Every structure is written in structure tokens, then in C-alpha cells.
Amino acid sequence: MSVTEPTLPLAAAILSGGESRRMGSPKALLPYRGKTFLEHLLEVTQHPRVAITCVVLGAHAEEIGKVLRNYTGNVLVNHHWQNGQLSSVQAAIRSLPPQGTAGLLLCPVDHPIISAALIGKLIEAFDASGKAIVLPTFCGKRGHPVIFRSTLYRELLAASPGVGARQVVWAHAGDIAEFPTEEEGVTLNIDDPDTLQRLQAENP
């Protein structure tokens, strides 16, 4: 890590470009404790180190965009959303300002059950470790969100759509900081109505 890097801000991207085919409706607009998944993620990613937040839309851009009318952050439309989540990651990277960022916090909208405290701990681990990638683990299983250091942006832009960001994670297996957490939400993919129903029953 360079001496000046800690002064650079972090960016956060909420990835909501998918078709939500199994769910049957846009995941970003699903309810969780009085908010939508998207609203919850926008709230918990507010942190002093995060200076830039963008929401990446795709398949349901028009419908979700109506909810974001009063949102003052960046809203991007990934017109290549059919190419998978990596294409939304790449859209977020391309939107970042030229003056630079220290890293990018990636929050898939189908992993919404995380807290602001978890985000804070991940950012602390990012700043303290100097590692290229920081991610949470629950019971030894890796989850989301993930922070990629800016030195990996080029590799993310060049990664194979068929493999996705995992290609970069695998390439830097020795440069990863894992943050163990008791928040099971880091590994919960809310991908279908049954999973959503169980979530809502357990978190009224």
C-alpha cells in the first residue's frame, strides 16, 4: 500500500442489474423490516470512508429507477446485464472519478441482510491489512460484501464474463483478508420466494 493511499476514499456499488427470474419480481424492491432491500443497503453502506455510492441497474432499470427519483447518488444502467454480474461491476468501475479511489465495496442486492457495523469492520480490515481483497466469512464460508483494492480494477475489467469476479479472487488467493462474523446474512442469497418467506418469518 502506498503512503498516500489511505487518504483516498472508498466507493460502494450496489449491484441490482439481474433479471430476478427465480424471484419473479425485482429483488431491489423486496421488503425487509419496513424498507426495500435496496434502501437497506443504501443505509448500511453510509460510512465516513465511502465517498461515492452508485446503484447499478439493468433488467428492471425503469421500475427500480422510479423508486430512486429522489436519490442523490449515482444511478447507472448496465445495458449488458445479460452478461452477468461482472458486467455491473465493470460498469461501476468505469463510472469512478479519475482522481482515484482506494477500493470498491461491492454489495449484491440479493445479499441484503448485513449491518452497518459489519460494513465498518470490513472497512477497518481493509485499511489495516493492506490486502488486495477483504471479505467476510460466516462459519468458515466466504460471503458478501467484498472490497477490492483499486490495484485490481484493471483485472476486474479484463476478467472473463463466464467466471466473473471470482477469477480475480482466485488469482490473488494469497492477498485476501478474511473477516469472521456472526452475521449469517453475509452468506444468505435471497434468490427465490421460499427463501424470502423464511427470512421475513425469522425477521419480523
HEC profile of 104-170: EEEEECCCCCCCHHHHHHHHHHHHHHCCCEEEEEECCEECCCEEEEHHHHHHHHHCCCCCCCHHHHH
Closest CA to 87 of 8, 19, 178: 19
Residue 184, all three cell numbers: 449469517
Residue 148: count other Cβ atoms within 10 Å of its Cβ: 24
Catalogue all structural domains in the chain, each as residue range(s) with its CATH number. Answer: 8-202 (3.90.550.10)
Q: pLDDT value at position 2?
A: 43
Q: Which pLDDT score, from 0 to 100, does residue 23 have?
A: 80
Q: What does the pLDDT read at residue 73?
A: 87
The per-residue pLDDT for 199 is 74
DSSP letter (8 states) at residue 187: G
What φ, ψ does residue 97 adopt, rounded to 5°? -70, 150
Enter the pTM of the model. Answer: 0.91
- pLDDT (0 to 100) of residue 203: 67
In angstroms, the CA 13 to CA 21 distance is 22
Give per-residue pLDDT as tens, 67-126. 898 888 899 999 999 999 999 999 999 999 877 899 999 999 999 999 999 999 999 999
Cα 180 from chain centroid (whole Å): 18
Q: What is the CA radius of gyration of the chain?
A: 16
Coil, strand or helix: which one is 48? coil
Tell me how far apart the terminal alpha carbons of the chain are, to the nearest angstrom: 43
Range 167-174 contact pairs with CB under 8 angstroms and sequence separation of 24 or more: 168/133, 169/133, 172/132, 172/133
Q: What is the largest CA-CA distance in the chain?
A: 49
Positions in the chain short of pLDDT 70: 1-6, 203-204
What's the pLDDT score for residue 4?
38
